[in-house]
Structure 1
């Protein structure tokens, strides 16, 4: 059975809401999203549907290079799962995405985390609750708390998580583009050398 790598993006945008959450949790980087490629082409989470309005939240596909997120402090972690586990995670995400208009952001649930009161609301999730929910069936990613109490820090510190980047989110994409360019240059050089070798052999 093959393996797949999934990616977790932790961010702090510096908004008043994120500062309040940081104060409540005594942690930074209190927003978490999940992706399935190192270029972060598709990122899923629960958060603001409109970047300038913190009160219109729900299921979202985030734009990490948009104005709202590009200057965020961030940390990106990778985690290896089996192909079947990856398919399960994607299935759970697609189920929620298919019903996204019925979901909302679980603001009340954040208070439950602060005061350690279990609050489970129908079709309402906050970001780390969403990630914990879509990971719930993974045998090797069992979190120590119910999803309604799970924080980004609980996910970030899980055994097996590998830190691959920390810093301004915009710089990650600059570094990634450079790596892609170098990889393409190396591939082009190999193809060129291969073609020359073939011509030499034919002669």
Structure 2
């Protein structure tokens, strides 16, 4: 058994605030990580931290980019237990996106379709939630009842997962070090 991590966040950007206002949810963004320290963190998000209208498949960094600027970002980290086979599938799916990142883009139309409640079918354009759903379903970890383009960040809270952390994103790594020291030998 292995773990993957889902980072649900609320950076407080204009676009994020609009998404949160529309959905009525707690979270406006979701990313997926292959490690507890969130070093291998992926999503579809803005390409440039100061310009929200160009998005892409991104290797995210909780200390840089939008997260580095928005230091009051609230988050919840979900720890999802997966089999070795599911973990390998997650890695494979993400590696395909990494190898072909130039082929993918952020689905601005997907946001419009989401607002209208209409599924958007496009294998090369994703929102953050659509991408994470694609990975979760592709790795056979869970199956959602609605189309991936209609999933919102709060929907991931219904997965069989453990809340590993909730609070300011900037404090996440230091809280993990404290937990590891506390649990280590006396």
> How high is the TM-score relative to the length of structure 2?
0.91
CA gap of 1:177–1:16, structure 2 versus 1, over 3 A, is: same
Partner of 1:195: none
Deviation for aligned residue 1:128: 0.6
Partner of 1:133: 134
The answer to whether the Cα contact below 8 Å between 1:63 and 1:69 also exists between their aligned partners in 2 is no
How far, CA to CA, are the matches of 1:55 and 1:41 in structure 2?
25
The answer to whether the Cα contact below 8 Å between 2:87 and 2:139 also exists between their aligned partners in 1 is no
CA gap of 1:183–1:70, structure 2 versus 1, over 3 A, is: farther
Root mean square deviation, CA, Å: 1.6
Deviation for aligned residue 1:70: 4.1
Matching of residue 169 in structure 1 with residue 165 in structure 2: no
**Structure 2: stretches of 5+ with no match in the other structure:** none
Secondary structure of 2:5's aligned partner: strand
Partner of 1:179: 179
How far, CA to CA, are the matches of 2:134 and 2:92 in structure 1?
12
Partner of 1:192: none
Q: 2:35 aligns with which of 27, 34, 37?
A: 37
| Aligned pairs (5 A) from 1:116-155 | 116-155=117-156
Larger RCO, structures 1/2 (Cα 8 Å, 6+ apart): 2
| Aligned pairs (5 A) from 1:1-203 | 3-66=1-64, 67-158=68-159, 160-182=160-182, 186=185
Residue deviations 1:70-90 (CA, integer Å, cap 9, x gap): 431100011101000110011
Deviation for aligned residue 1:154: 1.4
The answer to whether the Cα contact below 8 Å between 1:64 and 1:70 also exists between their aligned partners in 2 is no
> How high is the TM-score relative to the length of structure 1?
0.84
Deviation for aligned residue 1:179: 3.1
Say which one has the larger Rg: 1
The answer to whether the Cα contact below 8 Å between 2:29 and 2:129 also exists between their aligned partners in 1 is yes
How far, CA to CA, are the matches of 1:122 and 1:81 in structure 2?
25
How far, CA to CA, are the matches of 1:138 and 1:44 in structure 2?
15
How far, CA to CA, are the matches of 1:21 and 1:34 in structure 2?
19
How far, CA to CA, are the matches of 1:139 and 1:51 in structure 2?
33
